[in-house]
Each structure stands twice: as structure tokens, then as C-alpha cells.
Structure 1
Amino acid sequence: MAGIIATVTVFAVAQGLTYPLLSLILERQGIPSGLIGLSAAMTPLGFIISAPFIPALSRGVGGARLAILCSILAALTLVAIAWTQQVWAWMPLRLLLGFFANPLYVISETWLITITPAPRRGRILGLYSSIVSAGFAVGPLSLGFAGTDGWPPFIIGVSAFLACGLIVLAVAPRLLEMPDEGEATSVGGFFALAPLLLLAVFTAAAFEQIQLSLFAVYGAALGSAERRTASLITCFVAGNAVLQIPLGRAAERFGATRTMIFCILVCLTGCLLLAVAFSTWLIWPLVFAWGGVSFGLYTMSLIQLGERFTGQTLIAGNAAFAFAWGIGGMAGSPVAGLAMQLSGHQGLPLSLGLLSCALGVFLLAEKR
């Protein structure tokens, strides 16, 4: 379990670094926010393209071998990104980065859910989400030390990708094979089994991708320095890291659905207060809580996935989660970027608020 969590955490360091790093570089080049959002959407598009192939690849190649291969290929892709500084060249490279990152998350979460005892599922998956989110927080935080110019920030990302492969190699002898009991289920077939879970994953992904890729643009519009904005992004992801364990315990006590409704209400509150609080000290606790509850939507979905599905359906469910995550990230960034172009910087909280409202309406409708 420790090896599985460590693997994804190190991988998350590299991914958490690339989103704000590339957005800040493009912002300096004078690229419009809509195009910055479109560029950021290429990574989740890679998630979407790779998701249908993961169940078969993991059974054929083996989970550990596939994870190690993806770590190496992701590192090479980031090297290629560092060599180029042109928005159009980054489009296919960022797509490849998502394509190679996705199998690692699907495989690791399948391993983890398979070995997690049901009575402690909430706290263990909350712990998993917290530690992985801490990896995401280290990514943008490292920009405060390495800066956003030249090779230093890219070297951090490449090193993290390679370290991920080394961790998998070290724990490979004790890793489980992918579960094969039950009937094979396709990613498309899983959509009919749990549409609301996938909608929640979509919402969590869009929320996170919009924040990571466009919050820097929002901060620049309000005159915030790059380092302060990068620190606020780190605070957002730190909220992910710290709050998943208590949210997991809440899911064990009150149920994952009720806890998800609570997360939606806090997301909406953050959208309403963002503009008022941005220039005050209140922005720090607001962004912290915002980050925790927005990613909590994914944690609650993951808990329910483990409660409801096993075997090959579980693999398909994890791959479908990755597909929905990719759709959310790909759609969220360019739509929010376009909203910011059309209505100004307040298009960011407006987009996030409408997204949260939509999920809340469907969730309440299903409970009735």
C-alpha cells in the first residue's frame, strides 16, 4: 500500500508543477487566456484517448511493467516540452503527457481499492487522496524556489517522473496482478452503471484543471505577483492534501453521498466569496477549504466505486473515472478561459459556480 501511494505521489509532483509552470510561461509570452486554457486541455485529452485501452493493456502487459514504461515515456515527453517554447508545439506534447500519465493512476487506484478493507475504506482512500494531493502541492511550491525560467523547474519534473518508475520497480515483486474475476466491462459500458459518479469526477476534474491552469491568469488580472499566485495555487492543493482524511472519516460516518453534498455547498460558497476575499488575508483559508472540498468530490466518488464494484468492473470503473476526469479537464479549462475573455476575470468563479450547481441539482434529484 505504501509503495502504491508513493508511486502516484511522486508522479503528482511532476504533474502539479507542469500546469502552473506552462501557464505562466505562456502568460509571459502574451498568449490569450482562451489559448492557454486550450493548451492545458491537451493533457486531459490524453487521459480520454488512453482510458479505453487501459484495462486490456494492464492485463496483457502487466500492471507494474505498464506503470514503469509510462513513467519513462512521461519523463521523455517533459524533456521535449522543455526544449520547445512555442504554444502550438506544446499541444501534441501535452497530449502525450496525459496519455502516458493516465495508466499509472488507473493501475494504482485499482491496486489500492482491491487491498483496502471495507470498514476502513473511507479513511484509507482519504489518506491516499491526501498524500497524492500533497505531491501536487509540492509541484507549484517548487516554482517559488526554482522559478519559471530555463531548465531548473523542468529538471524537477523529469526527476519526479523517473523516481516514480524506480519506486514501482522496487515494490513490483509484492504488487498484485490486475483483478480478473467477473465479466469484462468496457469503459463505455460502465457509464450506464454509475453515471452520477462519473459526473462528480467530471466536476472535480474541471474544478481542479481550471484552478491550476487559469488561477494564475485570474491573479495577474487583479495585479497579484507571480510568486503570490503560485503560493495561492499551492494553498489550494494543500487543502486537497489536508482535508481528504477528515472527509474520508465523514464519509464513513455520514455516508459518501451526504459528504459530497457538503463539498458542493462549500464549493459554491468559495465561488461567491472569491472576488471579495482575494485582496485580503481571508483568501488563504478560503482557497485552502476550496481546494479540499473540490477534490473531495473525487474522493467520495472513489469510495463509492470501491463499495459498489469489484473485479474487471472495478478496472473498467477506474478507467471510466480517468475518462471522465479527462473530459472534465479538457472541457473546463477552455470554457472557463473563453468566459474570462468574454466577461473578464470574474468568468473564473462564474464558471466554477455553475459547474457546482449542476452537480448539486443532479445529486439531489437522484436522492429523491
Structure 2
Amino acid sequence: MQTHQELAAHSAPDWPAIVAVVLGVTAFSVAQGVTYPLISLVLEGRGVSSTMIGINAVGFALGLAAATLMLGQLTQRFRAQHLIIAGLVGCSLCLAAFATFSSIAVWFVARFLLGFCASLIFMLSEAWLNVACPDRLRGRISGIYGAAICAGFAAGPLAIPLFGTAGGFGFALTAVYLALVAFATALLMVSTRTVPEPSSTRDLFAFFRHAPMLVAMVFAFGFADIAAISSMPVYFVKTGHSEAFAALSVTVLALPTALAQPLIGYALDRLPRHSVAVGTAFVAALSYLAIPFIETPALILAAFAMIGAASFSLYTCALTMLGENFRGGMLVAGSAAYSLTYAVGSGAGSSLTGAIMEIGGPQAGPLSVGAALSVFTAAFVLGKRR
């Protein structure tokens, strides 16, 4: 039987909660978009070895993992909206630490805490978005949410050419931005009428058993997305394109991806959602498979843009279907499961694609990812029939 809160959420949108969630996740993605390249560039400029830069980056991943495993305990003790505000404030303080201190040890701790706080924002925002949305609008609002993530990731690196890497100004400005978002979020939460229910670690592992197809969709997204970002620029250089073309390909990937998500969201509210997911997986697979056979640079970039839009759309589909099929603590558990699955999928996408290109040559990279996505597409079709 549904609670009063669930009934209210499904009859009318909780707009203050939706706005707060979109603001928060945009801030999270801006912070991550800034820190990934900026920290590496600053450390490189200080003469820090590549090994130490890599070890420092592990801190963020450890923070993500810790937050995922502790999410159930935290939601049992604290209200989700308070955890989101704490996450925003924590991210702001971590960025301020990057701007204030130069110690590698301090940066490692700050990066761990940044990963922890950012993961809290991301997982709880997903769950809250689905609680606050009526099902008739779930796809469109998930599309706006996905567009906000993409836009934040694309906007974050702009701090580097605008403010440079010296003096910590980029970190400081982003810290102020996150603090303002935390304040705005706190104001919006006064008017909200929904909140995600507490979850548990048991729910997290139960979700993997109950929703294997949704988990597979997120894995496919992580695999294809990171392969596009990390391995495909290398493919372009190895096949005779310039480094400028390889850099442009990443930019081309971001903007169409953001613009496509509201359209995918609209389709999710008008068409069978599973069919939309199958369609996006098929388009991503076909685009990867086509790239080695295209010679015109403009058409290559067009196919690459399709890869970005279609692969991220898998996540928008999975997020929408999470809210359609689950309630209560399982929403938070599903968000945590998505976070873990994306981490595994992205790790597999970058490492396996790179290894396959080393063994089979550059062309094997996009062809192998396209083949893997084709297998996922077939699995989604068979999973629905069963």
C-alpha cells in the first residue's frame, strides 16, 4: 500500500524538490568536470610524477565506493535532504582545500572526501527525483536531469582556460559556486513535500537480484561512455587524425548528448520505455560499428555525436525505469547500485578497449565496443520477452 507521500508524488510534481535536485546534480557535475583535469594539470605543473598523480586520483574513487557502501547507514540516521546539503557544503570545503593547501597528502584526503560528498549528492538526487515525479512526467524530468549532468561536465573544464591553473582561483571560484548552490538548495527544501525513504546495504544487494536488466543498461552506458571519452581520441590519432581533431571529438560528444536527453525523456513518456532503451542501445552499437568505415571527418564527428547521445540515453532510460518500477528504500538502493555498476562498466570500457586496440590494432577498438553493445541490445530484447 502506498504512503501518503508516494500518492502525493504521483499525483503532482514536487517542483521545489525537482529544482533542488537539478541544481545539486549540476553543481556536482561542474565540480567533477573541474577537478578531473585541473588537479592533474596543477600536479603536473609542480613536477609531480605520473604515478603520484594516478594515486591521487584513486582517492576520489575510494570516496565514491565508501559513500556507496555507507549510504544505507547514513539514510537510516539522517534525512536525505540534509545529506544532500552536507554533500554540497563538503564539496565546497574540499575545493577550498585545493585552493589553500599544496600538500599532496592533504589533496589526497580532500579528493577522497570530494568523492564521498559528490557520490552522496548523486545517489540521493536520483532517488529524490523519482520520488518527486509523477510517472506521467518521469521521462521528461529525467531527461532534464540528464541534460543538467552533461552540461555541468561540459562547463566545468571551461574554468581552466578562463582562470588558468596557477593560484588556485579555479578551485576557489567553484567552491563559492557550490556554497551558493547549497544555500539555494536549503531554501528550496523548506517548500518540498517529498523525501527519499531510508535504505540499507541489504537493499543494495537485493536490487541486483531484482533488476538485472536495469543494471545491465547502466553497465552498458558506463562501458560505452568511457570508451568514447578515453579510448576513441587515441583511436583517432592512431588512424591519422590530428590531436586537435581528437580533442574536438570530445567536445562534439558533450553538447549533442545534453541536447538529446530532453527529447529522449519525451519519448520515454510517450512510447514503451523498454523499446526506447533497446533503440538507444542499437543506435550506439551501430554508430560504433560504422566509425571505422567512415572517411569524411564531418561524418565521423556526426557518428561520434550519436554515440554520446545514444549511450547516455541508456542511463536516462534506466533512471526513468527505476522510478517506474521501485518505491521506498529500493529507490535509494537502486541509485547506489547504479553508482557501483557505472564504476565497474567505465573501468571495463577504458581498460578493455585500450587492450583490444593494442592487440588487434586501432580499428578493433570501436568494432569491439560496437559488438559488445550489440550483445547488450540482444540481451535487452530477450530479457523483455522473458
TM-score class normalised by the smaller sequence: 0.7 to 0.9
Find the counterpart in structure 2 of residue 130 from structure 1: 147
Aligned-partner Cα distance in 2 for 1:252–1:114: 16
Counterparts in 2 of 1:250 and 1:273: CA distance versus 1, 3 Å:
same
Query: Which shows bigger deviation, 130-139 or 333-342?
Result: 333-342
Higher RCO by CA contacts (8 Å cutoff, separation 6 or greater): 1
Residue correspondences, number: 365
Find the counterpart in structure 2 of residue 293 from structure 1: 310
C-alpha contact 2:76 2:199 (8 A) present in aligned 1: no
SS of match in other structure, 1:282:
helix
C-alpha contact 1:190 1:317 (8 A) present in aligned 2: yes
Counterparts in 2 of 1:166 and 1:93: CA distance versus 1, 3 Å:
same
Q: Could you state the TM-score of these two structures normalised by the residue count of structure 1? A: 0.82
C-alpha contact 1:48 1:327 (8 A) present in aligned 2: no
Find the counterpart in structure 2 of residue 11 from structure 1: 28
Cα shift readout 1:177-229 (whole Å, capped 9, x = no counterpart): 63449999520011111011011112212322333444554455555345x54
Find the counterpart in structure 2 of residue 281 from structure 1: 298
Aligned partner letter, 2:269: E
- Which structure has the greater CA radius of gyration? 2
Q: For 2:135, which of 113, 118, 123 is the aligned residue?
A: 118
Work out whether 1:224 is the aligned partner of 2:224.
no
Aligned-partner Cα distance in 2 for 1:294–1:38: 29
Counterparts in 2 of 1:338 and 1:160: CA distance versus 1, 3 Å:
farther
Work out whether 1:243 is the aligned partner of 2:243.
no
Counterparts in 2 of 1:162 and 1:327: CA distance versus 1, 3 Å:
farther
Find the counterpart in structure 2 of residue 53 from structure 1: 70
Find the counterpart in structure 2 of residue 317 from structure 1: 334
Cα shift readout 1:151-189 (whole Å, capped 9, x = no counterpart): 455445444443442332332323456344999952001
Aligned-partner Cα distance in 2 for 1:129–1:176: 23
Aligned-partner Cα distance in 1 for 2:350–2:52: 9
Aligned-partner Cα distance in 2 for 1:159–1:217: 35
Work out whether 1:194 is the aligned partner of 2:244.
no
Aligned-partner Cα distance in 1 for 2:358–2:164: 27
Aligned-partner Cα distance in 2 for 1:366–1:241: 28
Find the counterpart in structure 1 of residue 19 from structure 2: 2
Aligned-partner Cα distance in 1 for 2:171–2:331: 35
Counterparts in 2 of 1:31 and 1:137: CA distance versus 1, 3 Å:
same
Aligned-partner Cα distance in 1 for 2:255–2:177: 19
Query: Which shows bigger deviation, 333-342 or 296-305?
Result: 333-342
Cα shift readout 1:278-310 (whole Å, capped 9, x = no counterpart): 861223322322211111101111111111111
SS of match in other structure, 1:174:
coil
Work out whether 1:166 is the aligned partner of 2:156.
no
- The gaps in structure 1 that reach 5 residues or longer are none
SS of match in other structure, 2:297:
coil
C-alpha contact 1:51 1:187 (8 A) present in aligned 2: no
Find the counterpart in structure 1 of residue 124 from structure 2: 107
Aligned-partner Cα distance in 2 for 1:38–1:238: 31
Aligned partner letter, 1:239: P
Query: Which shows bigger deviation, 103-112 or 280-289?
Result: 280-289
Cα shift readout 1:296-330 (whole Å, capped 9, x = no counterpart): 10111111111111111222122222221222233
Counterparts in 2 of 1:41 and 1:199: CA distance versus 1, 3 Å:
farther
Aligned-partner Cα distance in 2 for 1:342–1:315: 41
Q: 1:349 offset after TM fit, Å?
A: 2.2
Q: What percent identity do the matched residue pairs reach?
A: 30
Q: For 1:334, which of 324, 330, 351 is the aligned residue?
A: 351
Q: Could you state the TM-score of these two structures normalised by the residue count of structure 2? A: 0.79
Cα shift readout 1:84-133 (whole Å, capped 9, x = no counterpart): 698x9987765543322111012112221112111121112112212222
Cα shift readout 1:224-270 (whole Å, capped 9, x = no counterpart): 345x5444323212222111111122222221111111111211122
Aligned-partner Cα distance in 1 for 2:43–2:355: 16
